[in-house]
Structure 1
Amino acid sequence: MDLNHTIQQLIITAPPFLFALTFHELAHGYTAWKLGDPTAKDAGRLTMNPLKHLDPFGVLAFFL
């Protein structure tokens, strides 16, 4: 496989993946908050900012 093709694939697939991951976690937090669990709201995770949903150990575990 060509390196340019691989980089192009990564550039094309990364933004939708990041959006889906962020929206998914926002939905988890919002649902929990509406059902009475304030943990996500207290942690500042009721946002579409993807950096708020990333945790260093989780990212490391994902890539390992």
Structure 2
Amino acid sequence: MLGGLIVGLLVGWFISMFGVNDLLIQGFSELTGIIISNAGFYTIFAIMGAVGGALNNCKK
């Protein structure tokens, strides 16, 4: 689970180098009406990574 969290943060950091984070933040805002910051962006990726890591551990 911790490994998934770290991977999620690294993926978020990598795609933010290309400006994709601004695109995803704006898309999230338009779909949900909730405005998030870069911290929220990284939190979402960390949670997705942690859930993915936990599901991966459950399969084993």
- Larger relative contact order (Cα-Cα within 8 Å, sequence gap ≥ 6): 2
TM-score normalized by the length of structure 2:
0.34
Q: State the structure with more CA Rg.
A: 1
TM-score normalized by the length of structure 1:
0.33
- Larger helix share, 1 or 2: 2
